[in-house]
Structure 1
Amino acid sequence: MGRLRRLAEATPAGRDRYVDLLRALAIVLVVLGHWAVATIGYDATGRPTARSALPDLPWAYPLTWAVQVMPVFFLVGGYANAASLTAHRRRGGDGTGWLLGRSARLLRPTSVLVLVLTLGALAARLLGAEPSLIRTVVWFATIPLWFLAAYLVVVPLTPVMYALHRRYGLLVAVALALLVALGDLGRALGPAEAALPNYLFGWLAVHQLGFAWYDTRREPPSGAAGTPPGGPTARVRTRRLPLSRRAGWTALLGGLGVAVLLTGPGPYPVSMINIPGERLDNAAPPSLALLAVTTAQLGLILLLRGPAQRWLRRDRPWMAVIAVNAVVLTVFLWHLSAAILAVGGLDALGRLPTPPAGSAAWLAWRIPWVLLLAVVLAVLVAAFGPVEARTGRPPAARVPEPAGGDGSGTPEGGPGHARPGRDRATVRTALTAAGFAAVVYALVDNAVTPRGAPEPVGLPVPALAAYLVGAGTLRLLRSGWGSRG
């Protein structure tokens, strides 16, 4: 408590605490949603298995408009990435250095999960477990990584996309939404694969809105004295997210209206969480209907902004937000592992409840089930959370010094000898991009590999190798490797 109080007291006056609250709430709602909707049973071999009960609960489909909060995470991610990139550049860093700093926050907790699951899989294999069973367990535990794969594609594009936002403002988000609509049209008329680019376009569109939110803190208000009509202020207006209550109500009602039209007479399913057998999915990849719901969620966020900011000025709520955000990725990454451990433990004791989805017994079991998983997850976070909590602010970029080493920027021998420093910077940027690409490939390969595949280490071997190489490369670059001649 003492450390949390010191962190709360050290919070800069200009920090938007509401963004931190939204990040924490988004992850907590995802965790609770996954736990609450799970239904447990036994397969043909007598082994426990789990699936989502949502297909059996059509009455709950409209509720997914509130509990599908991944767009909220990308919204606050856009805000946070714009803020940290701007601060990093103000300290003299470059885009590559910023990206390496962000990789630490994202990959250190992820690497812990990957390594622990791999070691556990190897131990299980040595004890005689079947490779297909090992893969099934690891597949369930790594379901959260599909989201991280999408985010690890969006984050490296932040310097470019923020530059586009500074030039074209909200028009970039509109253009990305139109590309999502084209992708939806492609999969409606042709193969489902036609919408695969929506994984990028959809989440980028939401991420851009986070930029627009952050820019409300950077720019002078429109109509400032001395600014000519149609001049810089007009351009500023197109970059700023309107924060008024009128804007909130417009986004909420407009987004809901469009979503109703798209899912009622329109072709999109009502559920914003994917249901097996649906012709169109709303979340994988993001659809135009999901963007409409995102707009409604944004409106609600704007309407609640004032009361939430006043509440967060109190010490205890703000300390709770700090505590969750310190381990927020750890909570997300390990919440399904907590469910696996609980299922295995109850099954070993012969106390695993398996009521039919939607039955009175199943509904009654929701509260004790969630409480049980919360206890197991608390133990996992206590064990692995310190890795994330100790990851501080990204360091200033280590800009490669030019040959000569006097730190002046002009090496011995004249300007013609500055090229080696630029070459090292180019290599550093290329290696950073390659490291991210390897990690994304690993996470995608794991996601598309069938859960029953005979993988003796749980993860597909090429995916594991790519992840270790990619994450290892980024770790070396963060340590300064390759920054000096």
Structure 2
Amino acid sequence: MPESSLRNPRDGAADALRAFAILGVVLGHWLVTAFVADGSGTQLRVTSPLKTMPELAPISWVLQTLAVFFLVGGYAAGKGLRPGEPWAPRLRRRLARFARPLPVLLAAWLPASAVLAWAGYSAETVRTLVELVLSPLWFLGVYVVLTAATPAIAAVWNRLGLSGAALLVAATAAIDVGRFALDAPGWTGWATVLTGWLVPFYLGFGWAAGALGSRRAGFALVGGGAAATALLILFAGYPASMVGVPGAAVSNLSPPTLAAVAFGLAQTGLALLLHGPLTRWTRHARVSAAVSAANRSAMTIFLWHQTALLAVTAGALLAYGRLPGLHTAPDRPAWIIERLPWLAVCAGALAVLWALVRGFESSRRAGRDANHTAGALAGPYISQEAP
């Protein structure tokens, strides 16, 4: 079959959903990750405005968009699944786009750590900064596992349909009951990293298979997910914040709790409802070009946005000393106003990093593959070919 016959128009709405999810992750980290410098300027302590101002928890409801990532990832996996295709080549094709830039990040932080130590930052501060850069990478590990399991997920979907999602939610609930009510070992909670994020990925696969296309399904997920989240927060003691808060006894994200899964169901429903309007919106040439550009750089943005934040924070401290909104404690509402201009500075730093490393995210072969295959996390296209 000629290659041209394999090319399909990309799903602009799904691309837009991924772009919005990326924006949520970046702004979320830049806004709720606060650094407090000590008097010597050699140590940075990490905290969060959500710790000192818990009334800001609704910010996390807007900026915690991981369920949308996994939803679109499952949708792309479903659209890109080819019956009879060998497992290993399929996985290699889908994961190549973020296998290339990741070693560059790791290699860059080896000398960067040495430079920070040479500049006078304490060993504890350097370790904290490196952990902040590496901690978001857990997402890639989960994504790899779910992508590798796509054929098995397809088999489960064909057998159980939407009941499979209900079983995953029930499994997450059972793990939470064990942790919080039956004194099960804390490590058992990490099983929800798979059961919890598999829920939106599985629903994305079902969406690609033709289910969940009605507005009724979208409203049911939004209403049911939001109601369940509210009940779990109000009556079951789950935190209101959908991201981790330093010092909190329980995090909804590390590992994901039943409340995070319920919240993800609401996000899934909202994404389904927005698909139609986003499809119309992305038909405009300028919008389509912007969304495509964001998706082509998705992996670079995801991998390097924390580095941009840390470069601005550490560099400004060395050059100017403590600055409001960047090195001061987030213990008053005015801190949010002081923080906002720094988001633009971080965006500028990220743009510089993007210009330096973007070549590692793409290749000629990857560009040809993107014309007829579903992209991975950072892939620019989600093909419309039938599974």
For Structure 1 versus Structure 2, the TM-score category normalised by the shorter chain is 0.7 to 0.9
2:47 partner SS: strand
1:189-240: CA deviations, max 9, x gaps?
2132221111111111221001011011xxxxxxxxxxxxxxxxxxxxxxx2
Matched, 1:32 2:27: yes
TM-score (norm 2): 0.85
Name the residue aligned to 2:64: 68
Name the residue aligned to 1:204: 198
Matched, 1:362 2:338: no
Name the residue aligned to 1:298: 268
1:124: how far off? 6.1
- Partner letter of residue 346 of structure 2? L
Kept in 1: contact 2:221–2:269 (CA 8 A): yes
The structure that has the greater radius of gyration is 1
1:180 partner SS: helix
Matched, 1:314 2:310: no
Name the residue aligned to 2:174: 182
2:196 and 2:140 map into 1 onto residues whose CA distance is 15
Name the residue aligned to 1:18: 13
1:142: how far off? 1.6
Question: What are the within-5 Å matches in structure 2 for residues 465-476 of structure 1?
Answer: none
1:376 and 1:154 map into 2 onto residues whose CA distance is 32
Question: What are the within-5 Å matches in structure 2 for residues 50-65 of structure 1?
Answer: 50-65=46-61
1:92-126: CA deviations, max 9, x gaps?
73111111122311221111101111243356678
1:303: how far off? 2.1
Question: For residues 124 and 245 of structure 1, do their structure 2 counterparts lie closer, same or farther at Cα, with a shift above 3 Å needed?
Answer: closer
Kept in 2: contact 1:30–1:69 (CA 8 A): yes
2:299 and 2:226 map into 1 onto residues whose CA distance is 30
2:266 and 2:333 map into 1 onto residues whose CA distance is 33
Name the residue aligned to 1:166: 158
Q: Which runs of 5+ in 1 are unaligned?
A: 1-9, 217-239, 396-485
For these two proteins, the number of residue pairs brought into alignment is 358
1:11: how far off? 12
1:313 and 1:165 map into 2 onto residues whose CA distance is 31
Question: What are the within-5 Å matches in structure 2 for residues 39-54 of structure 1?
Answer: 39-43=34-38, 46-49=41-44, 50-54=46-50
1:85: how far off? 2.6
1:341 and 1:11 map into 2 onto residues whose CA distance is 43
Kept in 2: contact 1:102–1:394 (CA 8 A): no
1:45: how far off? 5.5
1:19 and 1:392 map into 2 onto residues whose CA distance is 19
Residue 361 (structure 2) aligned to one of 385, 388, 407: 388
Name the residue aligned to 1:100: 92
- Partner letter of residue 95 of structure 1? W
1:281: how far off? 2.4
Question: For residues 124 and 177 of structure 1, do their structure 2 counterparts lie closer, same or farther at Cα, with a shift above 3 Å needed?
Answer: same
With 316-325 and 352-361 compared, the bigger mean Cα shift is at 352-361
Greater length-normalized contact order (CA 8 Å, ≥ 6 residues apart): 2
1:381 and 1:98 map into 2 onto residues whose CA distance is 28
2:238 and 2:124 map into 1 onto residues whose CA distance is 35
Residue 336 (structure 1) aligned to one of 284, 306, 325: 306
- Partner letter of residue 81 of structure 1? A
- Partner letter of residue 61 of structure 1? A
Name the residue aligned to 1:376: 349
1:291 partner SS: helix
Q: Which runs of 5+ in 2 are unaligned?
A: 371-387
Question: What are the within-5 Å matches in structure 2 for residues 409-428 of structure 1?
Answer: none
2:246 partner SS: coil
How large is the Cα RMSD of the aligned pairs? 2.5
2:220 partner SS: helix
